[in-house]
Structure 1
Amino acid sequence: MRTFIDALNSRVLLTDGDIKPALNKLDLDMQRFGFGHEDCDVALNITRPDVIAAIHRDYLEAGADVIRTHTRNASPDVLEKYGMQDEVFIINHLAAETACQAVDALPGGNRRRFVLGVVDQSASVGDNPVLRNDAYRQVQGLVSGGVDAVSFKTLPNLEQARSQLASARHALLELGASVPLLLEYSEDLEFTDDTVADLTDGVYFVESSETIKAGYPVPQTGQKILVHGGKTPADTAVIDRKLRSSAGDGFRPATRPNVSPLEKVIPVSSWIDYSSVKAV
């Protein structure tokens, strides 16, 4: 079975879109489902996983290869604002579990899709022991929930970033997990190459979906590339068709020159029968 790294190293993969716009369209009583906090939407991972799962499924049906967990605001420092810092593990675990169940629930034919656990600690506060403990708890929750990889957005301070990433790596080792730890590229980070190479399995870049819709080519430099889905599932379906139209084999553009259209690895990443999707 192809791993997330295998697919990311050879193909451009399409992610889902953001969950918040979809949530904003729903008439949810966030005072009730957010444990008294109208803006604590990560609490829905506990109270309304069915809502999160339905959004995941919409993006999968639109053509997303990668579903990201609803955990960008599920770091301990953010949850502390709501008095929910003790729920870090369970929120991240349930978010990962919900995303995995959404992927498993939809027939994919020969298609291989992935769940990316999202950790955003770029605004975290505290000394190094606090940062290490926070990273450890969040990564353990995501990995125990079944993610295929972990995406880490860390502090721009190199020493603190290494502390966070080292703790994330320790969490993986303690679980005996071979889940790759990837650093999300940011212009604010000046250490996305050799400085943290020993702590991560690579750096990935997020390509703007707008450039894809406009017809610009995806970079073909061998970088690990994810294309961000649209604001809605319908927008994501447009991007999906645009990507596939630029691929020689109808799947996804290749990111290295030696990828054959008749690739022997099964299942081929991103394959699905789109006959039911109307052309734009």
Structure 2
Amino acid sequence: MRTLIEAIDQRVLLTDGSLARQLRGAQLNVARDLNGVEDCLELLNLTRAQLVRESHRAYLRAGADVIRTNSLQASPLSLARWDLADQAFYLNYAAAELACEAVDSVPGRGRRRFVLGVVRDQGWDAAPAELEAAVAVQVEGLLAGGVDGVAIDMVPGTGRAPAFLRGARRAKQKLKALAPVFLQRGHQGVEFSEHALGLADGLIRSRHGGAEAKTGKRDWLKAALEEEVNLIGGGDSPAATAKLDRALRAISDDGWRPFTGWRRPAVVDEVTPPSSSLHLDPAMAEVA
């Protein structure tokens, strides 16, 4: 599986956990590191690059297959309230570059890990043309920074998805990029329209590996597979991600990741499963 779109179509992948929680847990100087803007952790992509990179590395060593960029509030529409809209491209480019550098620096032991650029609808009061233009800037930065794919994370049924996807496709066309653009939604609720799905390269059905995962039970994972989930969130910390990595490998056919329901082969070839526990952070040793 050399591409993200192949991997996410065939296996239930594990993402990193909460990056914001990791970053807020560090000693930050709001004036120096965040330019006095406490709520904009995306500025750390420029001011504390090593901190962001190491946070990604911790999740990779814990077993994550997919690392998500530090870009949730890096839209020009969000940054405008801090007079930072003109920094949108650079913040997204840096977010992608740092995540890619982290992936390149942590051995995968025979498995490829991926960087997923994240664009989230924050409910801005903006016309479709404004949404499209803002998404185009953000996605252009993520693609230029080297992401393997982009996730448009939004609630179905709002009618805003086409504008987001048009903006993303505009950026892809400008850069002649091949990375896929996914629509992302939770595992339950309203579906996206056929028109919106037709503008996307694929659909991510995600489920957060949070409170349910802390129980230690595997039933919720099996239920997630029945719901055709193809992306499991890594919880709130690298420790939670490591536990989810082990749980997913334990219920897979080949000791790696469960197959998606529509891609499970009749016969599973024996493979040597890549063990994320071979390269855990020292802090992960107790939960390995």
TM-score by length of 2: 0.88
Equivalent position SS for 1:185: strand
Contact 2:154 2:185 in 1 (8 A): no
Deviates more, 1:173-182 or 1:251-260: 251-260
Deviates more, 1:223-232 or 1:13-22: 223-232
User: Equivalents in 2 of 1:243, 1:187: separation in Å?
Assistant: 17
Indicate how the Cα distance of structure 1 residues 109 and 25 shifts in structure 2: closer, same or farther if over 3 A, else same. same
Contact 1:68 1:115 in 2 (8 A): yes
Contact 1:76 1:88 in 2 (8 A): yes
Q: Paired residue for 1:6?
A: 6
One-letter amino acid matched to 2:237: T
TM-score by length of 1: 0.90
| Structure 1: gaps (5+ residues) | none
One-letter amino acid matched to 1:32: R
User: Equivalents in 2 of 1:86, 1:157: separation in Å?
Assistant: 30
Indicate how the Cα distance of structure 1 residues 29 and 273 shifts in structure 2: closer, same or farther if over 3 A, else same. closer
User: Equivalents in 2 of 1:279, 1:93: separation in Å?
Assistant: 34
Shift of 1:190: 3.9
- Does structure 1 residue 230 correspond to structure 2 residue 250? no
CA RMSD of aligned residues (A): 2.4
One-letter amino acid matched to 2:132: R
Shift of 1:57: 0.3
**Higher share in helix:** 2
Q: Paired residue for 2:282?
A: none
Q: Paired residue for 1:262?
A: 269
Contact 1:9 1:223 in 2 (8 A): no
Q: Paired residue for 1:195?
A: 195
One-letter amino acid matched to 2:197: A
Provide Cα deviations, 1:23-74, integer angstroms capped at 9, x if missing partner: 2221110221111212221100111111000000000000000000000111
User: Equivalents in 1 of 2:25, 2:276: separation in Å?
Assistant: 29
Shift of 1:273: 5.1
Shift of 1:154: 3.8
Q: How does 1:41-52 map to 2 (within 5 A)?
A: 41-52=41-52
- Does structure 1 residue 56 correspond to structure 2 residue 61? no
Indicate how the Cα distance of structure 1 residues 219 and 86 shifts in structure 2: closer, same or farther if over 3 A, else same. same
Shift of 1:129: 1.8
Indicate how the Cα distance of structure 1 residues 118 and 251 shifts in structure 2: closer, same or farther if over 3 A, else same. same
User: Equivalents in 2 of 1:187, 1:110: separation in Å?
Assistant: 30
- Does structure 1 residue 214 correspond to structure 2 residue 221? no
User: Equivalents in 2 of 1:148, 1:259: separation in Å?
Assistant: 29
Shift of 1:140: 0.2
Aligned-pair identity (%)? 37
| Structure 2: gaps (5+ residues) | 280-284
